Amino acid sequence: MSDTTPIQHFIRTIIDADLASGKQHGVATRFPPEPNGYLHIGHAKSICLNFGLAQDYQGVCNLRFDDTNPEKEADEYALAIQEDVHWLGFQWSGPVRWASDYFQQLYDYAEELIRQGKAFVCDLTLEAMREYRGTLTEKGRNSPYRERTVDDNLDLFRRMKAGEFPDGSKTLRAKIDMASPNFNLRDPVIYRIKRAHHIRTGDVWCIYPMYDYTHCISDALERITHSLCTLEFEDHRPLYDWVLDQLPVPSHPQQIEFSRLELHYTVTSKRKLLQLVSQGHVAGWDDPRMPTLHGMRRRGYTPEGIREFARRIGISKSENIVDMAVLESAIRDDLEAKAPRVMAVIKPLKVVLTNYQDGVTGSRSAGFHPQHPEFGGREVSISREIWIEQDDFSEDPPTGWQRLKPGGEARLRYSYVVKCDEAVKDADGKVVELRCSIDHDTLGQNPVGRKVKGVIHWVSASHALAAEIRLYDRLFTDPEPDGHKDRDFIEFLNPNSLTVVHGWVEPALKDAAPEAHYQFERSGYFCADRIDQRPGERLVFNRTVTLRDTWNKGHG
């Protein structure tokens, strides 16, 4: 699998033209998350785009936190975001940047707008401001405070900064055009009073700049060439350009919008993800069912697989609704080549090999990967009692059944052909044990005079290690859980999104390191849990993805 071949898209075309014409002499991008939650798969698309373009064009990509909303922001989120960017395989240029690094410059530029007569202090309440703003069919009305003098506005703005006025009592607004068909240009608020402790500046400031004002100036100060954002910011672009056109900033970046990622069977709204966490529907931001990068990492998704997914879905302005199967396929393709293959029994059924003979019944060695002999191998030990999957035996099998049945034969993977002679049942009639006989002439060779097609996996009861196995499935049963206006997305939670079973794994997994990946033959790809796995002491494996896409068949 290759994630090194860039796929041409419209943003690359723009960059190529800018470089060819001499409009730009290099590429500088940025990834600007707000530290108010954990990153999710939609952010991965943006990370791969911004950092990927910088890499491909030998440019730079800054990591800049948009920390202008102090009430919702936390160091925990900022640290997690940095960890995720590194985990995905990227490194930002220079130090981590913060919008708060520019608070003084942003304030000075706001005074400059006031001096130019292009910003004013407004006393309207939020409700009144909404009323004055107008509608889609009605023009807005000028604030009664719009014609304050420059001196009055400077005085009031400085007093706002000094903390003389209550929260929410005044705002600083850009003076643009209340008749504009674009609501973003109807004298938008660029500063508000908010006494909130800030994670970096503490209580130094009691006024904070708005995102639309902050972002474009931060881009300009960092000499970003191409400011890439999702399509919901398309209507904000005229404001982005207006602010920069009024001020003596060192550069004027170009804002370019692309479609955001919408992934079926999940939600990516930070508010809804926070609700899942706070209401206990999941075990935290890193729950392996969550679409967060922390969650996907814990589940066993690989950075290479996620980057390949981002490459496959591409970049465009058209709607980008992607089925979960596309992501799972990219992960599967990556793990296919790198995950050692071992045997594990997830739902055990005991089998007694009645003619097992010490010193006669032999074991075989097996490689960890058929295409990668360098992965090495291990001895696949056998004993009188073994475990097989419950699903590999049927008393009343369908036509074409190739696994065990009464009187039927199957091959034990890397071992003998065995015949089921008896099924032992409990008082309720449930099969609890099989008694099978070994054909001792079939170790490493086919039986004489008959064909045995079925091959099943197994582990030796004497050698296998107990393991907690967490079978993860999709978090929601509906492809668009938040797409129903009259229903709460919580209603569509999949009650079977997590099944915890206690199974058995080969002894080769005794020292499996946290985050080590394996293919459990015939079952799927699994990952040693990065939190709960304690090598040699407690084994916990998360199902990353099944061997093939079974969702559409089983849940159609």
Hey, which residues are catalytic here? 34, 260, 270
The letter for the amino acid at 246 is: Q
Residue 313 CA to residue 550 CA, distance in Å, equals 21
Beta bridge pairs of residue 545:
525
3-class DSSP state of 71:
helix
Cβ contacts of 480 within 8 Å, gap of 6 or more? 264
Between strands 189-193 and 171-174, the pairing is antiparallel
Region of 285 on the Ramachandran plot (φ > 0 left; ψ -120 to 50 alpha; else beta): alpha
The letter for the amino acid at 501 is: V
List the one residue out of 295, 265, 294, 261 whose CA is nearest residue 496. 265
* Separation of CA 42 from chain center: 7
Q: List the end-to-end C-alpha distance of the chain, in Å, as a whole number.
A: 29
- The distance between the two most distant Cα atoms of the chain, rounded to a whole number of Å, is 103
3-class DSSP state of 524:
strand
List the one residue out of 142, 217, 155 whose CA is nearest residue 187. 142
The shares of helix, strand and coil residues in the chain, as percent rounded to the nearest 5, are 30, 25, 45
Show the tokens assigned to 76. 């925990």
DSSP 93: S
